[in-house]
Amino acid sequence: MPQQLEPDIGVPLLTFLADRVPPLGYRVYRLEPALAELPMSVTPVGTGEQTVEAAGWRVVLSPAAGGVTSLRERDGREWVDASKHRLGQAVRDRGNRDPWGAKVEQRALSTGREVLLSTGPVESRARMIVELPGLGQAGLRMSWSPYMPGLGVTLLADKPRCLDPETIFMAFPFKIPNARYRYELPLAVAEANADQLPNACRDWYAVQHFVDISNEERGVTVAFREAFLAEFGDIRTGQWLRELPPSNGALFANLMNNLWFTNYKLDQEGPVSFRFAILPHDGPYDRAKAIRFGFEQANPLLTAVVPAGQKGTLPPTGSFLTVTGPDTAILTVKQPEAGTGLIVRLYDVAGKAGERVLHLPLPVKRAARCSLVEVDEGELAVTGTEVRVPLEASGVATVRVEMP
């Protein structure tokens, strides 16, 4: 299988393609001594502007500019508007802590030093050392793979203590004319402006797993991992907007701040990492694809090392639960708060009502539709190891399953 070995902060890092892992399941891989040196190339490529071409992308990194100045696909389309900010650039805003006071902007942009390029058959990475007042020395990492959709963007830093008012952003200045912004909420997706009440907040938005920025021709979905606050079009903190103005597609992830009087620590020092994934797409926004991408990035595969020679009865691969039916996410598999069996919660991500079928590894004795607080509301049809579940458009179904 495709694999590579590289040093990562001084420790060898093995990366391999773990394909065909079943949903809600596992696959066992055996690690053995390599018969030959695994392919990997790690190259310091200097402090000047660097162009990297891999996995169908042409990426231009500029240490002097502190980020990515160009991102193009094979067809030459440009995705970055580098006129004001660079993709992945860290921004520090030292505005007034008093949200009702005069806005005093003291803005700094990160700058970089050398770029380190790692290339391999599974994944390639470009690392840039960046510096920003208030953030200290940090690392910006881009990653892409021929086997995975999109690109990864990660900021790693050891944040120094700061008691002065500040906000740290990461810039995503996309080039998408007449962009519309859609952002995921818990079990819902909203569009900025269109789905908001008059006088609702437009300076910043709370994000569950993703933001999609698109027009009718193309767009990009950005998956969030650790940061869950976003500002659309520009840095909006303190503008008190009544309407979000038209935008070329810029997105600013609000990584941390100490401006508010509750819920946030006055200082936020220590090691931090902020991971994002970028998925450009042709055509208009697709709700199901965006939600799936966000869920996938927020729930990566988990690994466990099993001692050699350990005996067990399970086969090398298996799945505990699968579902058939259009665009359905399994949100929960858990023990019930009361009673017997297991609780399974399904979510329709595409807005398509219909029947879904749960497939379990053992014969099902009984299945019931439940409320969100797990009170049984009616029996469901069971055939062997299958349970048929009606699901409303964009709805949630909670099911109690009892097996021998």
CATH code (residue 177): 2.70.98.30
Q: What is the pLDDT of residue 163?
A: 82
Q: Do the domain assignments include residue 14?
A: no
Q: Do the domain assignments include residue 24?
A: no
pTM here is 0.90
Q: What is the CA radius of gyration of the chain?
A: 24
Residues 238, 380, single domain; the answer is no
Residues 220, 344, single domain; the answer is no
| CATH number where 358 lies | 2.60.40.2220
pLDDT band at 264 (very low <50, low <70, confident <90, very high): low
Residues 235, 341, single domain; the answer is no
Residues 63, 202, single domain; the answer is yes
Q: Do the domain assignments include residue 212?
A: yes
pLDDT band at 399 (very low <50, low <70, confident <90, very high): very high
Q: What is the pLDDT of residue 165?
A: 83
For 35-66, the pLDDT digits (tens) are 666 666 666 666 678 888 877 888 998 888 88
Residues 197, 73, single domain; the answer is yes
Q: Do the domain assignments include residue 272?
A: yes
In one letter, which amino acid is 12? P
Measure the CA–CA gap between 26 and 87, rounded to whole angstroms: 36
Residues 136, 269, single domain; the answer is yes
Q: Do the domain assignments include residue 314?
A: no
For 78-125, the pLDDT digits (tens) are 999 999 999 999 999 886 555 545 455 577 888 887 788 888 888 888
Residues 395, 294, single domain; the answer is no
What b/e sequence results for 183-192 when a residue is b if at least 16 CB atoms lie within 10 Å of its CB, and e otherwise? bbeeeebeeb
Q: Do the domain assignments include residue 313?
A: no
Q: Do the domain assignments include residue 306?
A: no
Mean pLDDT of 146-170: 90
**Does the pLDDT of residue 9 top 80, yes or no?**
no
In one letter, which amino acid is 65? A
How many Cα atoms within 13 Å fall on the side-chain side of residue 327? 19
Residues 274, 325, single domain; the answer is no
Residues 286, 177, single domain; the answer is yes
Mean pLDDT of 311-320: 88
Q: Do the domain assignments include residue 310?
A: no
Measure the CA–CA gap between 232 and 216, rounded to whole angstroms: 18
Q: What is the pLDDT of residue 115?
A: 81
* Number of compact structural domains in the chain: 2
Residue 49: count of CB within 10 angstroms of its CB: 14
Smallest Cα–Cα separation from 139: which of 118, 123, 166?
Answer: 118
The parent domain of residue 249 ranges over 31-298
Residues 291, 326, single domain; the answer is no
The burial class, CB within 10 Å (0-12 / 13-18 / 19+), for 115 is buried
- Fill in the DSSP letter of residue 74: T
pLDDT band at 280 (very low <50, low <70, confident <90, very high): very high
Measure the CA–CA gap between 120 and 6, rounded to whole angstroms: 9
Residues 56, 185, single domain; the answer is yes
Residues 345, 221, single domain; the answer is no
